Amino acid sequence: MKFEKNIKIIIPEKIFFQLQECSRNASPNESCGLIFGDIQELKNEEGYQYIYSAKKFECIKSSKPSPVAFLMDNLEKFNEIFEEAAKKFNLRLISIFHSHPGSAMPSGVDSNYMRMLYDWGDLRFKHQIWTIIDGKKKKLNGFLFLKDGIIQIDVKIQK
């Protein structure tokens, strides 16, 4: 898988702990949630750099608890969270988070969802980083679906 160092998500340690807690509480099932923040586009000699900065995390109860999949389909709850993030905190969705019991790489199902959201008309879900944590090793990876497929991006935990 291609690694793109010019796309980066910065996760403050406090949020990283919240992701771990969310994952722990759902175990042995997969946990999921939404990360809000902002996205900066910077230009340097090599071209563009995209920095996603995490500011707020919402752990969401999976609608279909399972150790191999997650489902966020409560649209009413979604809209409530989106509205609060936008109006109260002036933040946008930057990442869809979920956990795996023993890997931090996208599964086949994840890849299909990533493609689906990319193709879907709702701009709130386009260009979202998929963050996946390995619940055991506490390893966090980030992925993005672009027109040529999935790429891995840089994840930085900030102390």
Closest CB 69 distance from Zn ion, rounded Å: 7
Give the Å distances, CA to CA, from 69 to 33, 36, 149.
13, 22, 21
Closest approach, Cβ 33 to Zn ion, in A, equals: 13
Closest to Zn ion by CB, 49 or 103: 103
Nearer to Zn ion, 91 or 132 (CB): 132
Name which of 20 and 107 has its Cβ closer to Zn ion: 107
Q: How far is the CB of 27 from Zn ion (least distance, A)?
A: 14
* Residue 32 Cβ vs Zn ion, minimum distance, rounded to whole Å: 9
Nearest to 25 by CA among 52, 78, 80, 62: 62
Q: Which is nearer to Zn ion, 58 or 110 (CB)?
A: 110
Please give the residue whose beta carbon sits closest to Zn ion in the complex. Answer: 110
Quote the Cα angle for 129-132-136, to 5°: 165
Measured from the CB atom, the residue of 27 and 107 that comes closer to Zn ion is: 107
CB of 101 to Zn ion, least distance (A): 10
Cα gap 62→72, rounded to integer Å: 6
- Contact residues toward Zn ion (CB under 5 A) are 107, 110
